[in-house]
Structure formats: structure tokens, C-alpha cells
Structure 1
């Protein structure tokens, strides 16, 4: 898959998350701590990121901090691309 820009990744991630959390999510909001999603949603995020961005995430990338905010996901996609 072609490399995506940070802005493109952020837009696609936000579109996915907003379907589950609503539109008022800031890029730094921890949607798990805020109770917007549950722990099972973490697996949905992993599957989404891998399919959406054509990535295979390894154990070193399966760190909760990578998945709890929009900024964390954008950083993960950028680092894994």
C-alpha cells in the first residue's frame, strides 16, 4: 500500500473512531479512560489499522499507548509504514 500522509492517516482514523465514539473526540482524548469504548474495541482497532493501512503489526507495536488516542494511532501508522 502507498504511504499515507499524517493528515490522511488522521482523517481515516478519526472517521473510524467517530462511528464508535461520536464526533466530539479530541486527538488527545483517551477514549478508553473516558468510557467511550470497551476493551474488546482494542481488537477492532488492531484489525482496522492493519486492514486500512496494509500493515502487519508485531508484538512491539501492541502497546496500549499506541491505541488509546487518535495521536497514538497516527504515530503507530507512521512508524509502521
Structure 2
């Protein structure tokens, strides 16, 4: 796991990660996005877009998403992506494995 700390902050805040993800997703989909909205079930994203999400999260948050974490379920909502990001950064975050 690779981490990339931000200036003045030891670990990301869930609200900051959520806000950043919503801004990114809304720019990509041209739709308002709610934290609990399933972007795949609603047709706002495809499995190909999931790979773009992986690259985005890895680049912006300095994490590596590998193996069992590369499941579409981990990217279906902003809430799940925030939990995954925080868990991989070691900040807690209860990522679910459904």
C-alpha cells in the first residue's frame, strides 16, 4: 500500500474525500450525485468507467487498489468509495464486502 499525505493533514477526512468524489463524478456524468446513489444501477457509469474511478482514486489519494478491492461493488456509491479510500489510507473507514 502506498500513501501520499496531504500538507498539514495526517489522514483524509471522510467529508473531504466525499466532496472531492462528488465533484469528480458530477463533472464526468453531468448529473447531481448523492452519496448513497448507485451510479451503476442508475446507468450513470459503466464497468469501463469503474477503471477510470480506480485510477482517479489511486492518483488523487495516493492509494493502490488491488485484488479483492477491485470489485464493482466497492465503486457503486460515493459512500463505498469513501470507505474504501479511508481504509486503504489506514484512516479507519468501514468498507463493506457484500
TM-score (norm 1): 0.91
Structure 2 stretches of 5 or more lacking a match? 6-10, 90-98
Alignment of 1:60 with 2:68, yes or no, is yes
TM-score (norm 2): 0.77
Q: Which has the higher helix share?
A: 1
Taking only aligned residues, the RMSD between alpha carbons, in angstroms, comes to 1.1
2:23 matched to which residue of 1?
Answer: 15
Q: Pick from 71, 75, 83 the counterpart of residue 75 of structure 1.
A: 83
Shift of 1:23: 4.4
2:45, 2:84 → 1: CA distance?
19
Which fold has the larger relative contact order, with Cα–Cα distance below 8 Å and residues 6 or more apart in sequence? Answer: 1
Q: Which structure has the larger Rg?
A: 2
2:28, 2:81 → 1: CA distance?
15
1:43, 1:11 → 2: CA distance?
20
Structure 1 stretches of 5 or more lacking a match? none
2:83, 2:42 → 1: CA distance?
21
State the secondary structure of the residue aligned to 2:35.
coil
